[in-house]
């Protein structure tokens, strides 16, 4: 077992019930903070992932490794080593048995979570990789980054199934629909492209943002695609036609990460170091999770919609209870929020 990391578990304190007011209630006490033991060896975190059962946390960044944590007792189980450069993206298969990873060394890798061993290294790509995603049934792995080619691989055999042409040569976000029938990609030029996954047929392509897209997410229970990025807007789309269906104002911050927390709650994080939780029925921000001191690069929620993990340039990952009692914002926090 690889040590060298520690986790600070924190108990909740009693707080006063929150009355309705203009500024969102604040949660500033996470369930746990995951950091490296050595202050001289704390990686910037650009990828976090919760296992489907919510028991395992994977975190990766610029130290070229992936740390696997047991969430129940807040201890590291092992560290996956093999990448030779910054790890930009990780994701679990739906059964929780396999973790995919990729980054600046241009080579996607598949790992066994039972043994901590490398299962397969896929072919090295022509450029750095920014996103890897499993199709929900585990039969496809999508790989994209700093080239126009989006590669689809069979995870078990490693065979290349299909190559798709992306809307630009700097793809930052990929997302599969919950039923696995659609795949969306977006990046530098603000365009989104959607394909059928059974045959690679292009369904739609549209200008979604004025600047680089950083995050995409399909709603769990409806045909809606959410996008966000550097133009400070969170937008909702019909993915079949590229028709807009709504938007949220991200409060003047660039958005780097999105994660659904159940069917009707959406989390966002970005350049202002704050995680925001949005109620989509009310179309408003309902909570802020604060404490990070660097931009939030990555988010992932559990399947039950009760917990969320955030990873940051401040080198920490934080585990949040989305239903934890919040506190009233101070006058300074309200003013800073611009509300």
Q: Between β-strands 75-80 and 45-50, what pairing exists: parallel, antiparallel or unpaired?
A: unpaired
Tell the residue number behind the tokens 């365009």, with chain if given: 191
The residues near 80 (Cβ < 8 Å, ≥ 6 apart) are 65, 66, 67, 68, 99, 101, 111, 116, 118
Q: Is 159 exposed, middle or buried (0-12, 13-18, 19+ CB in 10 A)?
A: exposed
For the chain, what percent of residues have pLDDT higher than 90?
80
Q: Between β-strands 213-218 and 225-229, what pairing exists: parallel, antiparallel or unpaired?
A: antiparallel
Helix (H) / strand (E) element for 331: namely: helix 331-337
Taking alpha carbons only, the member of 255, 219, 220 closest to residue 237 is 219
pTM: 0.90
Give the C-alpha distances (Å, rounded to integers) separating 128 from 3, 169, 177: 29, 11, 25
pLDDT at residue 18, rounded to an integer: 29
Residue 19 has pLDDT above 60, yes or no: no
Taking alpha carbons only, the member of 209, 224, 125, 230 closest to residue 167 is 209
pLDDT at residue 41, rounded to an integer: 74
pLDDT at residue 3, rounded to an integer: 38
Pairwise CA distance, residues 275 & 24, whole Å: 12
Pairwise CA distance, residues 318 & 204, whole Å: 36
pLDDT at residue 251, rounded to an integer: 83
Contact 248, 227 (CB under 8 A): no
Residue 4 has pLDDT above 60, yes or no: no
pLDDT at residue 107, rounded to an integer: 98
pLDDT at residue 82, rounded to an integer: 97
At 12, is the pLDDT very low, low, confident or very high (cuts 50, 70, 90)? very low
Residue 11 has pLDDT above 90, yes or no: no
First CA to last CA distance, the chain: 48
Per-residue pLDDT averaged across 303-318, rounded?
Answer: 95
- pLDDT tens digits, 45-83: 999 999 999 999 999 999 999 999 999 988 999 999 999
Pairwise CA distance, residues 324 & 335, whole Å: 24
Residue 223 has pLDDT above 80, yes or no: yes
Residue 339 has pLDDT above 70, yes or no: no
Q: Between β-strands 307-312 and 45-50, what pairing exists: parallel, antiparallel or unpaired?
A: unpaired
Torsion-angle region of residue 180: left (phi > 0), alpha (psi -120 to 50) or beta?
left
Residue 2 has pLDDT above 60, yes or no: no
Per-residue pLDDT averaged across 213-240, rounded?
Answer: 95
Give me the domains of the chain, ranges plus CATH numbers.
25-337 (2.130.10.10)
Structure tokens at 50: 């919760």
Greater confidence (251 vs 236) lies with 236
Per-residue pLDDT averaged across 12-28, rounded?
Answer: 51
Report which DSSP code applies to 327: B
Residue 20 has pLDDT above 90, yes or no: no
pLDDT at residue 40, rounded to an integer: 65
Helix (H) / strand (E) element for 333: namely: helix 331-337
pLDDT at residue 42, rounded to an integer: 85
- pLDDT tens digits, 129-183: 999 999 999 999 999 999 999 999 999 999 999 999 998 889 999 999 999 999 9
CA 335 to chain centre: 29
Pairwise CA distance, residues 226 & 115, whole Å: 35
pLDDT at residue 39, rounded to an integer: 63
Q: Between β-strands 191-196 and 182-187, what pairing exists: parallel, antiparallel or unpaired?
A: antiparallel
Pairwise CA distance, residues 8 & 138, whole Å: 34
Greater confidence (222 vs 337) lies with 222
- pLDDT tens digits, 82-110: 999 999 999 999 999 999 999 999 999 99
CA 89 to chain centre: 9
């Amino acid at each position: 077992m690889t040590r060298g990391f520690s986790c600070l578990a924190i108990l909740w304190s009693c707080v006063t019930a929150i009355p309705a007011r203009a500024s969102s209630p604040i949660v500033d006490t996470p369930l746990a903070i995951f950091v490296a033991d050595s202050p001289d060896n704390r990686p910037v975190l650009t990828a976090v992932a919760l296992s489907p059962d919510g028991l395992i946390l994977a975190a990766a960044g610029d130290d070229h490794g992936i740390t696997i944590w047991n969430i129940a007792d807040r201890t590291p189980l092992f560290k996956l080593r093999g990448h030779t450069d910054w790890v930009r993206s990780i994701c679990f298969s739906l059964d929780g048995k396999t973790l995919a990873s990729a980054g600046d060394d241009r080579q996607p890798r598949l790992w066994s979570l039972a043994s901590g061993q490398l299962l397969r290294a896929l072919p090295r790509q022509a450029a750095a990789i920014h996103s890897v995603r499993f199709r929900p049934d585990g039969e496809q792995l999508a790989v994209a980054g700093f080239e126009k080619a989006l590669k689809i691989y069979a995870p078990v055999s490693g065979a290349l199934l299909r190559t798709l042409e992306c809307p630009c040569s700097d793809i930052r976000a990929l997302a599969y629909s919950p039923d696995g029938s659609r795949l969306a990609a977006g990046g530098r030029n603000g365009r989104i492209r959607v394909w059928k996954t059974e045959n690679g047929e292009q369904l739609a392509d549209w200008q979604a943002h004025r600047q680089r897209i950083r995050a995409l997410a399909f709603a769990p229970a409806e045909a809606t695609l959410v996008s966000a990025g550097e133009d400070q807007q969170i937008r909702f789309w019909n993915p079949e036609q590229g028709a807009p269906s709504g938007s949220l104002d991200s409060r003047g911050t660039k958005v780097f990460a999105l994660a659904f927390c159940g069917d009707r709650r959406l989390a966002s994080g970005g350049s202002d170091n704050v995680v925001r939780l949005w109620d989509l029925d009310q179309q408003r921000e309902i909570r802020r999770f604060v404490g990070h001191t660097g931009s939030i690069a990555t988010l992932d929620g559990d399947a039950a919609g009760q917990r969320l993990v955030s990873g940051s340039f401040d080198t920490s990952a934080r585990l949040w209870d989305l239903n934890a009692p919040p506190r009233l914002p101070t006058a300074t926090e309200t003013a800073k929020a611009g509300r």
